[in-house]
Amino acid sequence: MNLLLAGVNHQTAGVELREKLCALLPEAEVSYPLLLSYPEISEVLFYTTCNRVEVLCVTEALAEAQATLSAFFARHPAVTPGALADSLYLHQDQEAVRHLFRVAASLDALVMGEPQILGQVKKAFRLATEHQATGAILNRLLHKTFTVAKRVRTETGIGDHAVSVSYAAVALGKKIFGDLKAKNVLLLGAGEMAELALEHLQSQGVGSIVIANRTLERGLRLAERFGGEAVSLEELESQLLNADVLLSSTGSESYLLTREQVKAVMRRRRQRPLFMIDIGVPRDLEPGINDLDNVYLYNIDDLKEVVDENRERRREAAVQAERLVAAETLKFMDWLKTLSVYPTIISLREKAQAICQAELKKTLGHLGPLTPEQEQALLVMTEAITNKLLHDPIIFLKGNHHRQRGEAELALVRRLFNLEEVNREEPPDKDQA
Amino acid sequence: MANVFLSLTLLAYYGASALCIAYFLAQRESFCRLGAMVLAVGLVCHTAALALVTWNLGRLPVATLGESLLVFSWTLVAAFLLLFWRFPIRVLGALAAPLAALMVSGGLILPAGKGNVSPLLKNFWVLLHVGLTFMGVAALTLAGLGGLFYLVQERQIKKKRFGFFYRRLPSLEKLDALNYWCLSMGFPLLTVGMVIGSLYAQYTLGRFFSFDPKEILTLIAWMIYAVLLHERLTVGWRGRRAAILALCGMGVLIITFVGAGLWLGGYHSFASFSRQP
């Protein structure tokens, strides 16, 4: 029994290819019956996000399953085999487990540490269980995955720090104002950067939005989009009286606001805190403004520095996270390997019991009539002998399992007891859970 | 019996301090809640101990620095828990709880009172004077501790250096609101406490104000807070200046409480309480 993970992600495939492969796996109602119809696949789970398309399955026939999944992804009429061969990765067993852990812990993401992916994997797993596509192995693997992802999050703090300029601005705003609800935003200039930041601010539930732009027309258009109000740049100082957050991104060559102007405004504002973000290059706001009490001025470089620092923190956290993932992968593989020894243990016991029964029958024939107690005593004795003889080999199989030597040792035990003619059985707890 | 309760109090306060500091470091919500609970248990023991002592002495035990510390730490913890319940700035526990624990330790270590105090001081009005003043000072102490946090956090945001404290301290607006809330609670209490003391002095000693060191220093602290409150309400002083003034006020109050009580003499000093005023 093997694990196999096939798929493409943002690193191996462009968005066009990902879109096409995504189309191969539409709703769960269609996809799961299709995937389960392949005889090599006994358990299966797939998830598609904007950055990846991946299928994870449990198979008894690894080579066939590999061919099947490759062929499955090659079915799309517009996908050339060459392009697919370069992009598709097939991970087996340990690599597959590690890959899944890394995906769920957001170590394999475009922006490392962003938390959405875990929710997507959870949803995919729920769909898979609803369609009875998973069994004992995938159920256990996925539950383990969720624990690992959670541990990575809490123990390394990988998602704690904002890694985009807009997020960083929002995070800073929260440290100044507590939360941004009902805080008034004044926008200077109506550029693209401003739009992006405004979107973030609006998602925090800010209060009124006022847009001051040189050309009123563009300001009006943006104001309409965000449900704000457009004013001209001449009204800047009076508008500043009501604003809590000022976001500036004009192409102006000179400072739009000087220290003296802001100082005067602060007095009229009765010192209510003012958070100013200057993402214009060249700068729109005089740097000295930051020296005033209750005014916090951040320019694009300050914010970038925050972001870079946080990226660095995430990278450090990722090293720790990778170690955690590696350890958990090995633990899971150990569990998986103990599953693989069960068929051998069962055939060992069955063979011993068969020999016992046969020899007992022969002996009883020679001995002539015996009382039921005597017969029982003989039966108990033979069983005790076989059990005691088998005890150590079984302990060896269960316990002394070595990661690399395991397969060889298992084969040796099977040869030693000549078990090959006995059919392999399913793992004992296959249909539990 | 009172000593058993005081030991339990001390144990609870140190436990709560450990939990509050652990919360500050690890930012686990459960530590903080547990810390507040342990602190509340400590406060119950503390209340029982003070009630027993007051019953035995027939007066509030505030005749020595040690006794005063025991009473003051009670008001501080009570004020903190009230604040915690109404206005949750959780990290404040990391300063308030250890402070209370240290004060109770001091109260237990410092020598006990010599016994008899003037019957003039065994009076309901003195009890009210001390009680209200202590409550006011407790609230203003919390304002000062909040101010300390404000200054640290403000500096991090201004200098754009986001370290250890930036992540753990609450937002500036919250800390500033704490300052205002504590000030608007503490200042009236302190004022009423001082007025009652002054009226009682007029009634018993024949003068409102005796130019006693403790009286002068308290008046200075009162004026600092009066200025702060006034400026807050009129021109909207807040943030850094408010935090600095709250810290200054707290500094003067500490000098008043410890310094004037022990070394500067005057009829408010601890040494004079055992004698006839």
Sorting pLDDT into bands at 50, 70 and 90, what band is A146? Answer: very high
Residue of A nearest to B172 (CA): A176
- Name the superfamily (CATH) of residues A165-293: NAD(P)-binding Rossmann-like Domain (3.40.50.720)
**Minimum distance, in Å, between the CA of residue B95 and any CA atom of chain A:** 20
> What are φ and ψ of residue B122, in 5° steps?
-90, 65
Distance (Å) from the alpha carbon of B149 to chain A's nearest alpha carbon: 13
Average pLDDT over chain A, rounded to whole? 85
Listed residue (A199, A211, A191) closest to A169, CA to CA: A199
- pLDDT level of residue B112 (50, 70, 90 thresholds): low
CA–CA distance from B262 to each of A371, A377, B193, B269 (Å)?
103, 94, 21, 6
**Which secondary-structure segment (H or E) carries A357?**
helix A300-367
Output the six-digit token pair for A138.
């995938």
Minimal-distance CA residue of chain A relative to B231: A270
> Do residues B66 and B112 lie in contact, with contact meaning Cβ atoms separated by under 8 Å?
yes
> Is the pLDDT higher at B206 or at A242?
A242
Output the pLDDT for position A422.
46
Helix (H, G, I), strand (E, B) or coil at A33: helix
**Given CA atoms A274, A280, A281, A283 in this order, what sign does their dihedral have?**
negative
Residue of B nearest to A301 (CA): B160
Q: Which residues of B touch A309 (CB under 8 A)?
A: 162
pLDDT value for B229: 92
Q: Write down the domain spans for chain A.
A: 2-161+313-332, 165-293, 333-416
- Among A153, A265, A266, A294, most B C-beta atoms within 10 A, so best to mutate, is A294
User: Residue B241: closest CA among chain A residues belongs to which residue?
Assistant: A293
Inter-chain contact A293–B239, Cβ cutoff 8 Å? Answer: yes
- What is the spatial distance between Cα A159 and Cα B93, in angstroms, rounded to a whole number? 27
Average pLDDT over residues A222-248: 88
Task: Tell me if A348 sits within 8 A of A390, measured CB to CB.
Answer: yes
When pLDDT is cut at 50, 70 and 90, the band that residue A21 belongs to is: confident
Nearest to A296, CA basis, from B31, B172, B245, B27: B172
- Rounded to a whole number of angstroms, the distance from the CA of A199 to the nearest CA of chain B is 23
Distance CA B94, CA B25 (A): 9
Residues A66, A67, A69: CA angle, nearest 5 degrees: 65
**Would you put residue A252 in left (φ > 0), alpha (ψ -120 to 50) or beta?**
beta
Using the Cβ of B171 and the Cβ atoms of chain A, whether some distance falls under 8 Å is answered with yes
- CB nearest B235 (choices: A178, A270, A302): A270
Q: Nearest CA of chain B to the CA of A296: how many Å?
A: 6
Best B29, B30, B151, B157 member to test A by mutation, with max A CBs in 10 Å, is B157
Question: Considering only CB atoms, which residues of chain A are within 8 Å of chain B?
Answer: 160, 172, 174-179, 267, 269-273, 290, 293-294, 296, 298, 302, 305-306, 309
When CB atoms are compared, the residue of B153, B160, B236 closest to A271 is B236
Q: Which residues of B touch A273 (CB under 8 A)?
A: 172-173, 238-239
Determine the average pLDDT of the residues in A391-402: 77
CB contact under 8 A, B157 and A309: no
Band of residue B14 on the pLDDT scale cut at 50, 70, 90:
very high
- For chain B, list the domains and their CATH numbers: 1-115 (1.20.120), 116-277 (no CATH)
CA separation for the pair A216, A234 (Å, rounded): 11
Residue B67 has pLDDT above 60, yes or no: yes
Task: Name chain A contacts of B162, Cβ cutoff 8 Å.
Answer: 306, 309
Interface A–B counts its CB contacts (< 8 A) at 50
Q: What stretches of A105-235 show up as alpha helix (H) in DSSP?
A: 116-130, 136-156, 165-177, 192-203, 216-226
| CA–CA dist A50, A9 (Å, integer) | 9
Alpha-carbon distance A68 to nearest alpha carbon in chain B (angstroms): 48
Nearest CA in chain B to A161: B167
For A370, the token pair is 């015996």
For residue A293, the chain B residues in CB contact (below 8 A) are 239-241
Q: Is the per-residue pLDDT at B221 higher than 90?
A: yes
Point out the residue among B153, B172, B241 whose CB comes nearest to the CB of A273: B172
The more confidently predicted of residues A352 and A167 is A352
B151 touches chain A (CB under 8 A): no
Element (H, E) at B213: helix B213-234
How far is B171 from chain A, CA to nearest CA, in Å? Answer: 4
pLDDT at A430: 42
Share of chain B above pLDDT 90, in %: 40
Name the residue of chain A whose CA is nearest to B28's CA: A154
Nearest by CB to residue B172, choosing from A176, A267, A305, is A176
Q: What is the DSSP string of B27-58?
A: --HHHHHHHHHHHHHHHHHHHHHHHHHHHHHT
Amino acid letter, B228: L
Q: Mind listing the pLDDT tens digit for each residue in B223-258?
A: 999 999 998 888 888 888 899 999 999 999 988 888
8 Å CB contact of B160 and A302:
yes
Contact list, B91 vs chain A (CB under 8 Å): none
Confidence of residue B261 (pLDDT cuts 50, 70, 90): low
- Select from B158, B170, B172 the Cβ nearest to the Cβ of A290: B158
- Do B166 and A175 make contact, defined as CB atoms within 8 angstroms? yes
Work out the average pLDDT over A269-294.
Answer: 87
Element (H, E) at A47: strand A41-49
Dihedral over Cα of A373, A379, A385, A390: its sign: negative
Chain A residues within 8 A of B237 when measuring between CB atoms: 271
- Given a contact cutoff of 8 angstroms between Cβ atoms, the answer to whether B5 and B53 are in contact is no
Tokens 């068969």 appear where? A354
- Name the residue of chain B whose CA is nearest to A274's CA: B173
How many CA atoms lie less than 13 Å away from A285 in the CB half-sphere?
31
Alpha-carbon distance of A187 to A266, in angstroms, equals 18
Q: How many CA atoms lie within 13 A of A176 on its CB side?
A: 26
Min CA distance, A321 vs chain B (Å)? 19
Q: Do B172 and A177 touch (CB under 8 A)?
A: yes
Task: Choose the weakest-confidence range: A154-163, A183-192, B49-58, B198-207.
Answer: A154-163
Determine whether the interchain pair A309/B162 forms a contact, defined as Cβ–Cβ distance below 8 Å.
yes
Q: What is the pTM of this model?
A: 0.69
Mean residue pLDDT of chain B comes to: 86
pLDDT confidence of residue A111: 75
Provide mean pLDDT across the span A358-364: 88
The answer to which of A44-53, A152-161, B265-274 has the lowest mean pLDDT is: B265-274
User: What mean pLDDT do residues A326-353 have?
Assistant: 86
Which residues of A are catalytic, by number? 50
Say what the pLDDT of residue A431 is: 44
Are B171 and A174 a contacting pair at CB < 8 A? yes
For A2-161+313-332, which CATH superfamily applies? Glutamyl-tRNA reductase, N-terminal domain (3.30.460.30)
